[in-house]
């Protein structure tokens, strides 16, 4: 996939905000001294009066967003996933989730592809935290196209939304004319019959790469892209499980509480099949390049391929 176009989804976030800023005069963007990194800087340039830098105070930023939304604004709260979902968890839960306010949280630098900064900044727990809040929509786009579509959908949707973006550039996989995005809809991106790989975020690209390798060995893998982890498209997953009888989940997140857990929740109540969860295996990350880390923690195409093969033995 060497010549495939690559874009970091945090870039997509910033660019989508600029586009939406023109359509929604009540859209405001909040940041906590990370505008350059979260890519909201481009929005700040286009709409300086609607970009609110709160300084390094994520809990207050979250509360300010709640207050703004009660006045009719559509606030997009931006920070690293570690702080947006981690540090400010209780503010998100009580000031946004409980009153079900129309606040969007754009969390960049999620997962281990934060890279060199190391474990303190690599948030592998945000999906688990956010999906535990009643009424919260949780999205983790796979590429630039999906990320921009998700940000637009978040602006159109009324209610709290958590969006997860990455720091590192990742391949564009949804570049096709019939691409459509809908909150809560999963997509079969490759059909197969021996095993289902349900993936989210950067792991969708890895799953497709793995499926290609598996095909060379006569193993037919179906790949499902789940952007919206909550509410989960249970139907697309169960239908595939009925066909293949075996499910693998793949995510750049802890195997505790993330996509894997959500998929297991869905399957165990209506169509239990063996499931293997690929992700961070209850460990912290470490410093290194994004590429070196996804290789070490087996979240790249090769890693997913090897683990699926082991699972099928």
Partner 1 sequence: MNNLELKKIANEVRKGIVTAVHSAKAGHPGGSLSAADIYTYLYFEEMNIDPKNPKKEDRDRFVLSKGHTAPGLYSTLANRGYFPVEDLTTLRKLGSYLQGHPSMQYIPGVDMSSGSLGQGISAAVGMALAAKMDEKDIRVYTLLGDGEIQEGQVWEAAMFAGHRKLDNLVVIVDNNGLQIDGPIDQVCSPYPIDKKFEAFNFHVINLDDAHDFDKIRAAFKEARETKGMPTAIIAHSLKGKGVSFMEGNVAWHGTAPNDEQYAVAMADLEKIGEELNKEGEA
Q: Does 102 bind partner 1 (CB under 8 A)?
A: no
Q: Does 40 bind partner 1 (CB under 8 A)?
A: no
Provide, rounded to whole angstroms, the least separation between the CB of residue 87 and partner 1: 11
Q: Does 116 bind partner 1 (CB under 8 A)?
A: no
The residue (of 75 and 201) whose beta carbon lies closer to partner 1 is 75
Q: Does 85 bind partner 1 (CB under 8 A)?
A: no
Catalytic: 235? no
Q: Does 73 bind partner 1 (CB under 8 A)?
A: yes
Query: What's the Cα-to-Cα distance from 71 to each of 24, 36, 96, 196, 230, rounded to whole Å?
Result: 15, 28, 14, 45, 27
Q: Does 52 bind partner 1 (CB under 8 A)?
A: yes
Q: Pick the closest to residue 251 from 272, 285, 274, 227 (CA basis).
A: 227
Provide, rounded to whole angstroms, the least separation between the CB of residue 130 and partner 1: 17
Q: Which of 15, 38, 95, 244 binds partner 1 (CB under 8 A)?
A: 95
Cβ(237)–Cβ(225) below 8 Å: no
Q: Does 132 bind partner 1 (CB under 8 A)?
A: no
Query: What's the Cα-to-Cα distance from 310 to each of 12, 118, 278, rounded to whole Å?
Result: 35, 29, 12
User: What SS3 state is found at 197?
Assistant: strand
Q: Does 46 bind partner 1 (CB under 8 A)?
A: no
> In the chain, at which residue ranges do the beta strands (DSSP E only) sit?
6-7, 27-31, 51-53, 74-80, 104-108, 137-139, 161-164, 170-171, 187-190, 195-199, 221-225, 228-230, 247-254, 275-280
Q: Does 94 bind partner 1 (CB under 8 A)?
A: yes
Q: Which of 8, 65, 133, 236 binds partner 1 (CB under 8 A)?
A: 65
Residues contributing to the site for partner 1 (CB under 8 A): 28, 49-50, 52, 54-55, 57, 59-60, 62-73, 75, 90-91, 94-95, 98-100
């Amino acid at each position: 996939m060497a010549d495939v176009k690559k874009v970091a989804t945090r870039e997509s976030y910033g660019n989508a905000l600029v586009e939406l800023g023109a359509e929604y005069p009540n859209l405001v963007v909040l940041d906590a001294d990370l505008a350059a990194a979260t890519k909201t800087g481009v929005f700040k340039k286009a709409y300086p009066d609607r970009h609110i830098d709160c300084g390094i105070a994520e809990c207050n930023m979250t509360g300010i967003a709640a207050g703004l939304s009660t006045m009719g604004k559509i606030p997009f709260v931006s920070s690293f996933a570690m702080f947006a979902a981690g540090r400010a968890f209780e503010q998100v839960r009580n000031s946004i989730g409980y009153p079900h306010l129309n606040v969007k949280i754009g969390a960049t630098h999620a997962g281990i592809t934060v890279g060199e900064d190391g474990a303190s900044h690599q948030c592998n727990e945000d999906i688990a935290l956010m999906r535990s809040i009643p009424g919260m929509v949780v999205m983790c786009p796979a590429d630039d196209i999906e990320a921009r579509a998700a940000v637009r959908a978040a602006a159109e949707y009324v209610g709290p939304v958590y969006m997860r973006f990455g720091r590192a550039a990742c391949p564009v996989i949804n570049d096709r004319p019939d691409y459509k995005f809908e909150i809560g809809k999963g997509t079969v991106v490759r059909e197969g019959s021996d095993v289902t790989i349900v993936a989210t975020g950067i792991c969708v690209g890895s799953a497709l790469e793995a499926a290609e390798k598996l095909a060379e060995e006569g193993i037919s893998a179906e790949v499902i892209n789940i952007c919206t982890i909550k509410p989960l498209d249970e139907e697309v997953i169960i239908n595939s499980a009925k066909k293949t009888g075996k499910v693998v989940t793949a995510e750049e997140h802890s195997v505790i509480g993330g996509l894997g857990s959500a998929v297991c929740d869905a399957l165990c109540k209506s169509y239990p099949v063996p499931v293997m969860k690929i992700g961070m295996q209850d460990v912290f990350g470490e410093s290194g390049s994004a590429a070196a880390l996804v290789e070490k923690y087996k979240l790249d195409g090769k890693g997913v391929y090897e683990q699926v093969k082991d699972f099928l033995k």
